[in-house]
Amino acid sequence: QISDPEACDQMYESLVRIHTNFYKNKYPRLKDTTFTGVTVENCRTVLATDILKQMEDRKKGTWKRLREKFSAKKPEED
């Protein structure tokens, strides 16, 4: 049993609008950017380069990574 069918209908309609991207279609964006002003393509490029760096690090052996980590200390860290 639903105590308030009218409120339930309002919630359902609201969820339908969210699901069907009603407001995205009603108010289309002029530019395809994020809140920082960076475009989607720039974000993808940055993420792709970061992933490539991670892949290169994984290709290195465990001992080589440890050796680089401990032998290449910066003067500020001493």
With a threshold of 0.85, does the pTM exceed it?
Answer: no
d(CA 36, CA 21): 22
**pLDDT greater at residue 33 or residue 68:** 68
51-76 residue pLDDT tens: 777 777 777 777 777 787 788 665 55
- Residue 28 has what pLDDT? 87
What rounded mean pLDDT belongs to the chain?
A: 80
pLDDT over 60 (residue 77)? no
Cβ neighbours for 39, distance < 8 A, ≥ 6 positions apart:
31, 32, 33
Mean per-residue pLDDT for 14-25?
94
